[in-house]
């Protein structure tokens, strides 16, 4: 993955093929990024997706794309076969049906074919939804093969990578484990030590297990109890990581320290900052203790960075300034003279889950819904007090327990209960009460950038609401959040 402005002459290797991705720009924008035209002279297959297609067209004749009607969403693609044309033209769609469901998301589209190109696919709104050069292996597609809604997307990319570029499919998780363990051992050496924070989430657990497999007890994991984890979470994580996975783990109970600092704070950004900064302070203290007690130096800090974080930092405008996790860790690295080690940085979430399963991590941990660093502090709207934490924890626990019992946990991408900062009137045991309100959230998403609410049946919601108002003191009402992202976000704060 390189920024599109990469000069090919600066590369020390020759690619077997090039995919030009989509972009929010129009090729006509004054500040639009443009690819090094040497890409088209490399004599390797090139596939342009959406903006990539427009970039190919733009580089093969003026004025071929135009800011026309926007098109977002589902479309039916008709494949045009060219049995008499050179054999490479039909390869992109080989083995696929003549009519395909695809996902479109574009402003500009091609108005005419560039010279020496033919049409290989159309939709009712895009007459040049797929194009190919008649001599060179240059292809452009207007739709997005990389999204789940384009069901033929993986097969199309496989046709490109395997049949056109002659790449071998040798990236397997079994191979990954062996090569990564070898790499970790080489980097860390035979006496080096590594520390890392674990949260009970899949990424940090998989990273920790991999590290433990590579260097055993020279890896020290630290779990900071910030007082805003889920019900019984620290005990469960401690038990699983030490007893089942054999990881050398210290749990630090810093809940009082966090909750004292959160006293009186209602602003969500302030909560995030307080939790982030306190975490760094506690972690550093603990890491220094590990250093002293181990008698040697700790050289590396383990981070469960995934490939999407890496992608976010590869921009033609330079690394994004808004990446949350990295700037905090930067301080730690400098203060403690640590080097960063990131064994998962080439993996996507689904690959991390396969890796976790292969490493023997229990299924309920591998398939855990994501949980934000600031924990339930950003799910308690208003001040975070021990009493509010207790209410939010119990309600969340009941909700997730019912989701699991109904066999829905894996169908939902993320679910939790939030505690709203309002009181509502209710009637309980013939008495008027003026108590708090729980909001249930459940979303389906693949990338967490956009999300839709999960469509529970009424019976399920009735059961959860009944249990929460009956079992959680201080709550007399339950509501279900039916806001999509955008405009809502997945978390309430």
Beta carbon nearer to ligand XMP, 42 or 265: 265
**Considering 4, 50, 165, 476, which one is annotated as catalytic?**
50
User: Using omega within 30 degrees of 0 as the cis cutoff, is the peptide bond preceding 227 cis?
Assistant: no
Q: Is 350 marked as binding a ligand?
A: no
Residues 354/42, Cβ–Cβ less than 8 Å: no
Cα separation, 67 vs 331, in Å, equals 45
Q: Is 352 marked as binding a ligand?
A: no
Residues 20/135, Cβ–Cβ less than 8 Å: no
Catalog residues that contact ligand XMP under the rule CB under 6 A.
272, 370, 372-374, 414, 448, 485, 489-491
- Write down the least CB distance from residue 265 to ligand XMP, Å: 15
Q: Is 36 marked as binding a ligand?
A: no
Beta bridge partners of 427: 432
- Mutual orientation of helices 324-336 and 268-294 as an angle, nearest 10°? 30
Give 342's Cβ-side CA count (13 Å radius).
13
- List the structure tokens of 177: 């484990």
- Write down the least CB distance from residue 197 to ligand XMP, Å: 12
Beta carbon nearer to ligand XMP, 280 or 433: 280
- Write down the least CB distance from residue 413 to ligand XMP, Å: 8
Q: Is 203 marked as binding a ligand?
A: yes
Beta carbon nearer to ligand XMP, 77 or 275: 275
- Write down the least CB distance from residue 272 to ligand XMP, Å: 5
**Considering 71, 82, 101, 146, which one is annotated as catalytic?**
146
Q: Is 200 marked as binding a ligand?
A: yes
Beta bridge partners of 121: 79, 130
Active site (annotated) includes residue 152: no
- Write down the least CB distance from residue 286 to ligand XMP, Å: 19
Backbone Cα Rg of the chain: 26
Beta carbon nearer to ligand XMP, 289 or 485: 485
**Considering 60, 88, 133, 144, which one is annotated as catalytic?**
144
- List the structure tokens of 252: 């630090």
**Residue whose C-alpha is closest to residue 383's, from 267, 479, 273:** 267
Q: Is 107 marked as binding a ligand?
A: no
- Write down the least CB distance from residue 490 to ligand XMP, Å: 3
Burial environment of residue 407 by CB neighbours within 10 A (0 to 12, 13 to 18, 19 or more): exposed
Active site (annotated) includes residue 144: yes
Residues 57/140, Cβ–Cβ less than 8 Å: yes
Cα separation, 122 vs 386, in Å, equals 60
Q: Is 151 marked as binding a ligand?
A: no
- Write down the least CB distance from residue 396 to ligand XMP, Å: 13
Beta carbon nearer to ligand XMP, 356 or 372: 372
Beta carbon nearer to ligand XMP, 264 or 486: 486
Q: Which DSSP symbol is given to 451?
A: B
Beta carbon nearer to ligand XMP, 93 or 258: 258
DSSP codes, 371-420: --TTGGGGTB-S---HHHHHHHHHHHHHHHHHHHHTT-TTT-SEEEEEEE
What's the gap between Cα 44 and its chain centre? Answer: 31
Burial environment of residue 65 by CB neighbours within 10 A (0 to 12, 13 to 18, 19 or more): buried
Q: Which residues are annotated as a binding site for ATP?
A: 199-205
What residues act catalytically? 50, 144, 146
């Amino acid at each position: 993955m390189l920024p599109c402005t990469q000069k090919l002459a600066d590369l020390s290797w020759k690619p077997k093929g090039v995919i030009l991705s989509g972009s929010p720009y129009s090729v006509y924008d004054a500040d639009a990024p443009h690819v090094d035209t040497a890409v088209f002279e490399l004599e390797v297959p090139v596939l342009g997706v959406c903006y990539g297609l427009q970039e190919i067209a733009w580089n093969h004749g003026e004025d071929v794309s135009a800011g026309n009607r926007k098109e977002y969403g589902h479309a039916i693609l008709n494949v045009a076969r060219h049995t008499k044309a050179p054999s490479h033209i039909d390869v992109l769609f080989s083995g696929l049906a003549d009519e395909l469901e695809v996902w479109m998301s574009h402003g500009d589209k091609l108005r005419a074919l560039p010279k020496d190109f033919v049409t290989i696919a159309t939709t009712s709104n895009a007459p040049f939804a797929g194009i190919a050069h008649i001599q060179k292996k240059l292809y452009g597609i207007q739709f997005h093969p990389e999204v789940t809604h384009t069901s033929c997307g993986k097969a199309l990319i496989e046709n490109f990578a395997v049949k056109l570029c002659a790449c071998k499919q040798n990236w397997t998780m079994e191979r990954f484990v062996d090569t990564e363990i070898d790499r970790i051992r080489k980097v860390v050496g035979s006496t080096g030590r590594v520390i890392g924070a674990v949260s009970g989430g899949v990424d940090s657990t998989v990273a920790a297990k991999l590290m433990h497999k590579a260097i055993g007890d020279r890896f020290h994991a630290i779990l900071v109890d910030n007082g805003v984890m889920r019900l019984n979470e620290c005990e469960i994580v401690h038990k699983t990581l030490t007893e089942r996975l054999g990881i050398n783990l210290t749990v630090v109970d810093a809940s009082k320290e966090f909750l004292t600092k959160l006293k009186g704070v209602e602003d969500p950004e302030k909560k995030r900052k307080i939790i982030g900064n306190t975490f760094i302070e506690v972690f550093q203290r603990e890491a220094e203790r590990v250093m002293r007690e181990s008698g040697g130096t700790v050289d590396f800090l383990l981070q469960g960075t995934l490939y999407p974080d890496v992608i976010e930092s590869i921009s033609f405008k330079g690394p994004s300034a808004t990446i949350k996790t990295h700037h905090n860790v930067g301080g730690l690295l400098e203060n403690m003279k640590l080097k960063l080690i990131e064994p998962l940085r080439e993996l996507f979430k689904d690959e991390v889950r396969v890796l976790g399963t292969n490493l023997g991590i229990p299924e309920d941990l591998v398939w855990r819904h994501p949980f934000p660093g600031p924990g339930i502090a950003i799910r308690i709207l208003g001040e975070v007090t021990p009493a509010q934490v207790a209410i939010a924890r119990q309600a969340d626990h009941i909700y997730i327990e019912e989701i699991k019992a109904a066999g829905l946990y894996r169908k939902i991408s993320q679910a939790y209960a939030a505690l709203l900062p309002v009181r509502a009137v209710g009637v309980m045991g013939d008495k008027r009460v003026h108590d708090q309100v729980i909001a249930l959230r459940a979303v389906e998403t693949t990338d967490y950038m956009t999300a839709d609410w999960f469509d529970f049946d009424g019976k399920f919601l009735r059961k959860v609401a009944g249990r929460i108002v009956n079992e959680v003191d201080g709550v007399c009402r339950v509501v279900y959040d039916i806001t999509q992202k955008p405009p809502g976000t997945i978390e309430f704060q």
